[in-house]
Each structure stands twice: as structure tokens, then as C-alpha cells.
Amino acid sequence: MSLYSQRGVSAQKEEVHAAIQKLDQGLYEHAFCKMYPDSISGDADFVNIMHADGAGTKSILAYLYWKETGDISVWKGIAQDAIAMNLDDLLCVGVYDNLLFSSTIDRNKSVITGEVLEQVINGTQEFFDELKKFGINIHFLGGETADVGDVVRTIAVNGTMMARWPKSRIITNEKIKPGNVIVGFASYGRAVYEKSYNSGIGSNGLTSARHDILDKHYAKNYPETFEPTLKGEVVYIGKQRITDEFTVANGHEPTTIGKLLLSPTRTYAPLVKILLENYFDKIDGMIHCSGGGQTKCMKYLPQPLKIIKDNLFEAPEIFKLIQQNSGADNREMYQVFNMGHRLEIFTDEATAFAMINDANLLQIEAQIIGRADASDKKELCLKVKGEWIKY
């Protein structure tokens, strides 16, 4: 059993998928988000889309960082995480403007102060204000903030995003086919709209990352940050402290382990807006490599295909650090983490190179990472430093 499973979490969410398998799949079975006919106005040319997600256990890292450093501004990054995990899923069905957002914050009042709530709520609006500069308009409708100390040990920051969108401008993934190339867009680096280096960690696999990298100091001093029934051998088994310095390659400014783990989830919205406006008819599919990492695409294939990813990005330093501490093999790492790119687009080769150029203008690395081949079954083959991993 993997360390991830021993900590009570699942990269593939098998039980969750089993629980919802009888639900209506919406208008487009293979689309990244569920869509329904427009019930707001009854217009047959529009669809309604609603999506819920959150920052996950990354909020526990923010809690540790705040407690250890006193830097309360770290909570603004958690607000961005909760937004980006919703927004970037919606990007994958073609939605990038005129969105509605409502937040849901559950806290344990005994450890999470009102000042923390202010940082999360104000950080939400500040992030929307920044996105507006790039033509991404999101309307903040408030939400629910509840004191539920009997339910949560620290804080859970989540949100729901909704849009009404023309049916003629949606991506359903139904066009994914043999011959498509797959463009990967880096999750790490520093895009023109980011304030500092982004490790690429996103908001998936943070239970594993936290326990694999950080040392027993955090188990001893912050028992509220982990499930008390977990065995000691899977709790904070690493060698680092949040304040340990870390030097990133390629000339980026020095940082700390805590800042690497807490890099706010990159949103691709400014880039995807450009790509959808310029190449909509050439985009056959879009995948947000969130939960499930590099295996995420398999869930949304419209037909039996062999997906070959044989030109992946070199894993960013944060993932190398996690693997060094945990001893996890490549199979598990690529199933839990994005490992270097969180967005992939299925298209033709000529369009791929044009998209790569547009990404580079925003200082986002991009490259053709693989292709879709004909097959009699759905399969995925990853090439990682000469090793082939099949799912």
C-alpha cells in the first residue's frame, strides 16, 4: 500500500467515483465539467455550468507557515488556490469570462482567528481584481463562513463557480482523436502575471507532500494538523523545516521550503483566453491535470485511444524533493502530482506550435509532450527518463 493510501487519501478517488456513477452525466459525457441546458433563461443556445472545488489540505501548510513565521499574508495564496482549482477546470470546457464565485469557509475558531478570515476573503477579491486586467471577469457573490470546530481541525477553504455560456463555444473533448498532438503548459516558473517563482505544486497531493518533506517537529508541536489515528511512520517523515532556505535553479531568487510548498496554484486563465479566442476550432480537447496527475486525461477520452506522453517536462525541483524524501516510485509520483504541467491541449501540430509561442509570450513554458494513437482500448504510456510506465 502506498504512503498516500496509508494517510487516508486517494489520487484516483475510486470510492467517490463509485458513489456518483448513477448521476446524470449532463449534456456531454466526456467534457471536463458537467453541463446542462440553460435553466436560467431557457435559451437552447446556452448551457449552465457549475463547479465546486477547494484548496484541500494546502490550508494546513498555510497554518503551519503562519504559526512558524507570523506571516498572515500566506492565507491570500490559499484563496487563490481555491479559485484556480475551480476556474481552471472551467477553462477546460471553454469558459473564461463573466463567472460567478461563492466561497465556503469552515474553520475551527479556537485556532483560526478572524484576521485569517480577512486575509482569505480579501485575497479572493484581490485575485479577481488582478485577473480583470487580463479580461477575466469574475463576480464575487460572498458565500458561507461557518465555525465548525467539531468538524474541522483547522480550516477548509472551498468555493463554487458558475457560468452561463454559449453552446457554440464549448469544448466537450468529443473531438479528441488519433493523430492529435498534446501540448503541455508548465505549472512552474514565473508567468508575467505572477509575483514570484511558482514551484508548480498546485493543490493536489499536498497531504503526501507535507508529510514526506516536513520533519517530526510538526507532529510534536501541531497535532491539530493531522488525523490522530494515523501511524507515526507516515506522519511528517521528512527532513526539512518550513523555514529552511532553498535555491531554485535557472537564476530564480532564493526561497524557502515553505514557499515552495505554498506556491499559489497557477491559473492558466490569461493564456487560455488567448488560445480560445485564436484557435477555438482547432482545440479538440482540454485537460486540467489536477487530481490523478498525468493519468487525468484517461477519464475524459471519448473513444479507445493510446495516449503516449514521451516528451514530458523534467520534473520541477519540488517534486524531486518529495520523491527523495518519500522514496515513492515514478508510477505513484505521476499518478499523484502534475509533475510539471497542469494543462494539456489536444490539437494538430501546426496549431500546437502557435500555442507554444503564445504561452512563451506570457513566460509560460510549453511543448508538445505526446500524442494520441489509435487503439482498441484506452491506455496511457508515460516515458520518464527512459522508463516506460503504463496505466
Confidence at 13, pLDDT banded by 50, 70, 90: low
Task: For residue 388, give the C-alpha cell.
Answer: 516506460
Q: Is the pLDDT of residue 9 over 90?
A: no
Q: Is the pLDDT of residue 16 over 60?
A: no
Counted domains in the chain: 1
**pLDDT: is 236 or 6 the higher one?**
236
Confidence at 124, pLDDT banded by 50, 70, 90: very high
Q: What percentage of the chain exceeds 90 in pLDDT?
A: 90
Report angle CA 287, 293, 296 to the nearest 5 degrees: 45
Task: For residue 345, give the C-alpha cell.
Answer: 491541449
Residue 243 lies in a domain: no
pLDDT value at residue 1? 55
Q: Model-level pTM?
A: 0.93
Q: Report which secondary-structure segment, H or E, holds 218.
A: helix 217-221
pLDDT value at residue 41? 86
Query: Of 351, 344, 367, 349, which Cα lies nearest the Cα of 282?
Result: 351
pLDDT value at residue 168? 97
Span 266-274, mean pLDDT? 98
Residue 255 lies in a domain: no
Neighbours of 132 (CB within 10 A): 11
**pLDDT: is 14 or 303 the higher one?**
303
pLDDT value at residue 263? 97
Residue 216 lies in a domain: no
Condensed to tens digits (0 to 9), the pLDDT of residues 43-78 reads 999 999 999 999 999 999 999 999 999 999 999 999
CA dihedral for 286, 292, 293, 297, sign (positive or negative): negative
Confidence at 252, pLDDT banded by 50, 70, 90: confident
Spatial contact of 259 and 204, defined as CB atoms under 8 Å apart? no
CA dihedral for 34, 307, 199, 94, sign (positive or negative): negative
Confidence at 213, pLDDT banded by 50, 70, 90: very high
Condensed to tens digits (0 to 9), the pLDDT of residues 307-340 reads 999 999 999 999 999 999 999 999 999 999 999 9
Q: Which amino acid is at 114?
A: G
Residue 223 lies in a domain: no
Q: Look-up: residue for cell 494513437?
A: 373
Query: Of 79, 57, 61, which Cα lies nearest the Cα of 259?
Result: 61
DSSP reduced 3-state for 65: helix
Residue 376 lies in a domain: yes
Mean of pLDDT over the chain:
94
Q: For residue 182, what is the domain's CATH number?
A: 3.30.1330.10
Spatial contact of 30 and 301, defined as CB atoms under 8 Å apart? yes
DSSP reduced 3-state for 125: helix
Distance CA 27, CA 380 (A): 26
Residue 236 lies in a domain: no
Residue 10 lies in a domain: yes
Instruction: Estimate to the nearest angstrom the gap between the alpha carbon of 321 and the chain centroid.
Output: 19
Condensed to tens digits (0 to 9), the pLDDT of residues 82-117 reads 999 999 999 999 999 999 999 999 999 999 999 999
Strand ranges (DSSP E) for 59-187?
A: 99-107, 138-147, 155-166, 181-186
Q: Is the pLDDT of residue 2 over 90?
A: no
Residue 45, CA distances (Å) to 28, 36, 130, 166, 281 in order? 15, 11, 31, 6, 18
Residue 299 lies in a domain: yes
**pLDDT: is 255 or 253 the higher one?**
255
pLDDT value at residue 248? 87
Span 201-212, mean pLDDT? 95
- Domain range holding 320? 3-195+262-390
Span 336-363, mean pLDDT? 98
Confidence at 249, pLDDT banded by 50, 70, 90: confident
Q: Is the pLDDT of residue 240 over 90?
A: yes
